[in-house]
Amino acid sequence: MSVFIIASVVLGIIALIAIARIILGPTLADRVVALDATNTMAVAILILLSAEFRQAMFVDIAIVYAMLSFIGTIYFAKYLEANQND
C-alpha cells in the first residue's frame, strides 16, 4: 500500500462529505458550490492516482475533467443569473 492510494481513499471520503451538501443544500446556489468543490476533489484524486500507477494518461484525463467541470460551472452560473425567481 503506497501513501498515494491511502491519500486518494481518504480524499474520496472527504468528497462524500461534500456530496452530502449537494443533497442537503437548501438553495440551488449551495448545490452548485458543493458540486464545484467536489469536482476539484475529483481532479486531485486523479492526480494522486497518476502518481500511484505511474501513468501520465491519468493527468490528461484530469485536465479534460477540469475543463468540462469549468464549463459546467459557468453554465450553472448563467442558469442562476437567468432565473430570478427560484
Partner 1 sequence: MIELLIYVFISIGLLFHAMGALALHRFFDPYTRLHGSTLCTTFGSIFLALAAIIYALQAGLFPIALHVFLAIVFLMVTNATGAHAIARGAYLHGIKPKRLAVDELAKVRK
Cell 479534460 belongs to which residue?
Answer: 64
Q: How far apart (Å, rounded) are the C-alpha atoms in residues 64 and 51?
A: 17
Which cell numbers hold the place of 69? 467541470
> If binding means CB under 8 A, how many residues of this protein chain bind partner 1?
50
Tell me the longest C-alpha to C-alpha distance in the chain.
51
Interface positions, 38-77, toward partner 1 (CB under 8 A): 40-41, 43-44, 47-48, 50-51, 54-56, 59-60, 62-63, 66-67, 70, 73-74, 76-77
Q: How far apart (Å, rounded) are the C-alpha atoms in residues 46 and 57?
A: 10
- For residue 3, the minimal CB distance to partner 1 (Å) is 6
Compute CA distances 30 → 18, 40, 64, 73, whole Å. 11, 16, 25, 13
Is residue 3 a contact residue for partner 1 (CB under 8 A)? Answer: yes
Site residues for partner 1 per CB under 8 A:
3-4, 7, 10-11, 14-15, 17-18, 20-21, 27-30, 32-34, 36-37, 40-41, 43-44, 47-48, 50-51, 54-56, 59-60, 62-63, 66-67, 70, 73-74, 76-81, 83-86
